[in-house]
Amino acid sequence: MERIQKYLSHLQNVLDMLSLRDVREVVDMVMSAYENDKQIFAIGNGGSASTASHIGCDLGKGTISVPGGGSVPARKRFRAISLTDNVATMTAWSNDTSYDDIFVEQLKNLVNPGDLIIGISVSGNSENVVRAMQYAKAVGCYVIAWTGIGGGKMDEVSDLSVIVESDQYGPVEDVHLILNHILHAWISEELASRNA
């Protein structure tokens, strides 16, 4: 029981330190991309890859869903894409060039100026995420970093960073998923209120 309580206490402490202003800025940047018909790309490795997939799902499908099932057919949809979901493409680039290029090479096919990239990494130093963020900035995109452990290189590249103040992978990844659910809940309520 003590180990469980220790983990939960640390997670609560980390949540209490989260900058609500930064979280709100993420919401504003995502909504700006939506309102301006821009694409939103999510990228990450390992557990952060699954969070990127979750973001793509929640923005792309969850924001048009209604409680109990079904969807709002007339609602404008988010153009959200997780670059972690095409295993064939990722392994092809990894095999033929470098694992460090698996996201930047996909962006070269898809990204346009003004699009939004959400990079997720506990360390903030995942080279493939950093390179993708640098490329995106160079072609005129906006870049958000979700990190932990002080922010790393991604904090230096991003337009906005949400840094989870922990050096433990589990709690940082937990908070990143919570950020996704906050984002989804805020947007869903906002879109529902506009159509009320």
Q: What is the pLDDT of residues 161-178, one digit of tens each?
A: 999 999 999 999 999 999
The whole-model pTM stands at 0.95
Number of domains in the chain: 1
Quote the pLDDT of residue 71. 72
Reported as a pLDDT band with limits 50, 70 and 90, residue 75 is confident
Q: How far apart are CA 63 and CA 40, in angstroms?
A: 14
In a domain, 15, yes or no: no
166: domain range?
A: 20-194
Residue 178 inside a domain? The answer is yes
**Is pLDDT above 90 for 29?**
yes
Is 10 among the domain residues? no
Residues facing 41 on adjacent strands: 81, 117
Task: Let me know if residue 8 belongs to a domain.
Answer: no
Domain annotation covers residue 156: yes
pLDDT at res. 196:
57
pLDDT of residue 65: 76
Give the CATH number of the domain where residue 64 resides.
3.40.50.10490
In-domain check, residue 85: yes
Q: Closest Cα to residue 123, out of 85, 152, 89, 102?
A: 152
> Does the residue 157 lie in any domain?
yes
